[in-house]
Amino acid sequence: MKNFFIKLTFTLLLAGSYAAYAQLPENILKASGSPANPKVPMAWNRYYDYTAITDVCKKLAAAYPNLVKVESMGKSFTGKEMWVMTITDFKTGDASRKPAMYIDGNIHSNEIQGSEFALYTAWYLAESFADTKFIRELLADKTFYIAPTINPDARDNFIHNPNTASSPRSGLIPIDNDRDGATNEDGFDDLDGDGNIVSMRRKNPNGRYRADPKDPRRMIVVGPDEKGEYELLGSEGIDNDGDGFVNEDGEGAYDPNRDWAWNWQPNYIQNGAYKYPFSLPENRGIADFVMKHPNIAAGQSYHNNGGMILRGPGAEEDLNTYNAQDVQVYDALGKMGEDLIPGYRYLVVYKDLYSVFGGELDWFYGGRGIYTFSNELWTSFSLFNKPGADNSPDASYFFDRYLLFKDAFVDWKPYKHPQYGDIEIGGFKKNYGRMHPGFLLESDAHRNMAFTLYHAFHTPKLSVDEISEKNLGGGLREITAVIANSRLMPTHSSQDLKYRIEVPDIVSLSGAKVVAGMVVTNRDMGITAEQKVDPANLSVANIPGNGTVTVRWIVQGSGAVTVSVDSKKGGQAVRKG
């Protein structure tokens, strides 16, 4: 026995030495744009449950204490911590005083890859900091708040329990969907116990379907002169409660993306709404976090699917909320997204899809003035990367057959159903159709991340570009300063200004006694607007994107002066005159 343990120890040490050797920098040729030797090794061709996500968040924080900190935004319905990572170069300043980008994923449990995309972003920022100048400069200026999963209960339900690609969307709060007085008494049943919920079909010469001769796995509608072979019976399951319906009363039925406090509507108007805005603990936790972080200037939420870069409004009734100035910013960012992510389209929710009331996207912008996108991840364009190829009705079957080697499909097999009798069950697994196949996951994660980094880059960047002085005589001087914003986004969106969501920016002068202070509205014509109260600290409503604001003071006495700028969403800037 002693010899066995000696041999086992030697084997493990040897294996460890090989693993360490394989990761030595001299043994690796760095691929452009990717971390070569990460401290937290990750595989981005799979999906992680809540425990694994928690582990990655904590490992990143431990490996990069000067870049990553992890905290909880609150607890889910079942008590899971809702992790959010704060990522910035903490050595270059207070994270809460830098313009910030908020990113989350997985509000709908079946829309799973948003978590991986958010997690990839956090991982990439930390692991690329040392050898990528752009990332170092970005994290010196900006803060990222990244919440990989904002529906952790249902994420684990989706991953660990039998489900279809479209179930469930909600969390795990019990709901009586069919109003029979009981909850969770129906829902999916894994008839054959293989861990998959697929489809049911029954042979029927009068059915509307037959097997496709090119691929018998696929059901196609019979032509007018053809004889049917099958009828389709829906997703695998049983009518457990005897009400005549299968799979209609499972865990949850609300939609977390109908729970936000902007243009919220009750369930009879907007199906999926819960009790009242922020009645779900997960959304309440996010809202509290955002309210406590007024530096959040940009937002990104990840959904699936369809290959879309979405902005609001969610409903036509809210059309006037998105005014022309803000739409120009959205358009510039969204069109860049189309260039960065092939096959994705920049769209408006209500106009190009359907109405959404009480959506996260609209609350972030409408309620907080934050420029926010919602990306619908995965597009069938990615199947073959050429226009039109994805429109073929059998494209998914062809892709599964020749690129996934039939790994995504459960072959049809007979089953004795207690209600339908002799049937067959088979079809695509839950991890196909709405979710990326493994080999395409990292590529799309990187492209979507690049879009969010571009968005974050264009949050305001302020500087004091000019301090000039003019002697007025009598011991008085005129100090003029030009405050510049070199990025696309203003310090206050038009929505922010309209509802005075955030406090104005403050431009201050120190080093001399201020007699008068004013905002210069036309420097050439000498037109100013004086601020009589607290003239040393001028209140500026907005510093426009790619624009400037000019301020002026009349001061008494000699000596150097310092001009500083403090903006909740624009950060800080200081310059000595």
Q: How far is CA 261 from CA 283, 287, 359, in A?
A: 10, 9, 8
Return d(Cα 248, Cα 241) in angstroms, integer: 10
Return d(Cα 502, Cα 496) in angstroms, integer: 7
Report the relative pairing of strands 345-348 and 308-311 from DSSP bridges.
parallel
Q: What residue ranges do the domains of the chain occupy? A: 1-30, 67-154+266-378+438-457, 176-250+382-428, 462-576
CATH number of 462-576: 2.60.40
pTM: predicted TM-score of the whole model, two decimal places: 0.93
Architecture of domain 67-154+266-378+438-457: 3-Layer(aba) Sandwich (3.40)
Return d(Cα 330, Cα 328) in angstroms, integer: 5
Residue 402 tokens, joined: 């020749």
Per-position pLDDT tens, the chain of length 577:
555 554 444 444 444 444 444 468 788 899 999 998 999 999 999 999 999 999 999 999 999 999 999 999 999 999 999 999 999 999 999 999 999 999 999 999 899 999 999 999 999 999 999 999 999 999 999 999 999 999 999 999 999 999 999 887 777 777 666 566 555 555 678 999 999 999 999 999 999 999 999 999 999 999 998 999 999 999 999 887 777 777 766 555 789 999 999 999 998 898 889 999 999 999 999 999 999 999 999 999 999 999 999 999 999 888 888 989 999 999 999 999 999 999 999 999 999 999 999 999 999 999 999 999 999 999 999 999 887 766 677 899 999 999 999 999 999 999 999 999 999 999 999 999 999 999 999 999 999 999 999 999 999 999 999 999 999 999 999 999 999 999 999 999 999 999 999 999 999 999 999 999 999 999 999 899 999 999 999 999 999 999 999 999 999 988 899 999 999 999 999 999 8
Return d(Cα 123, Cα 291) in angstroms, integer: 26
**Contact between residue 359 and residue 260 where contact means Cβ atoms under 8 Å apart:** yes
Return d(Cα 349, Cα 335) in angstroms, integer: 16
Return d(Cα 55, Cα 44) in angstroms, integer: 15
The residue behind tokens 């972003």 is: 121
Return d(Cα 57, Cα 115) in angstroms, integer: 12
Return d(Cα 569, Cα 97) in angstroms, integer: 8
Long-range contacts of 331-340 (CB under 8 A, 24+ apart): 332/488, 333/371, 333/373, 333/454, 333/455, 333/458, 333/488, 334/309, 334/373, 336/451, 336/454, 337/309, 337/373, 337/375, 337/451, 337/454, 338/309, 340/447, 340/450, 340/451, 340/454
Return d(Cα 415, Cα 191) in angstroms, integer: 8
Q: Is residue 378 helix, strand or coil?
A: coil
Residue 221 tokens, joined: 């509608």
| Cβ atoms < 10 Å from Cβ of 28 | 11
Q: What are phi and psi of 240, to 5 degrees?
A: -70, -30
Q: What are phi and psi of 77, to 5 degrees?
A: -55, -40
Distance linking the first and last C-alpha atoms of the chain: 78
Find the largest Cα–Cα distance for the chain. 104
Q: How far is CA 418 from CA 160, 178, 243, 413, 421, in A?
A: 26, 22, 15, 16, 6
**Contact between residue 278 and residue 260 where contact means Cβ atoms under 8 Å apart:** yes
Task: Please enumerate in sequence order all residues whose Cβ is within 8 A of that of 95, keeping only pairs 6 or more positions apart, or say none.
Answer: 69, 86, 88, 143
Long-range contacts of 416-422 (CB under 8 A, 24+ apart): 417/191, 417/200, 417/238, 418/238, 419/238, 419/239, 420/200, 420/202, 420/233, 421/202, 422/202, 422/203
| Cβ atoms < 10 Å from Cβ of 435 | 23
Which residues are catalytic, by number? 376
| Cβ atoms < 10 Å from Cβ of 243 | 13
Q: Where would I find the beta strands (DSSP E) of 106-208?
A: 143-147, 199-203
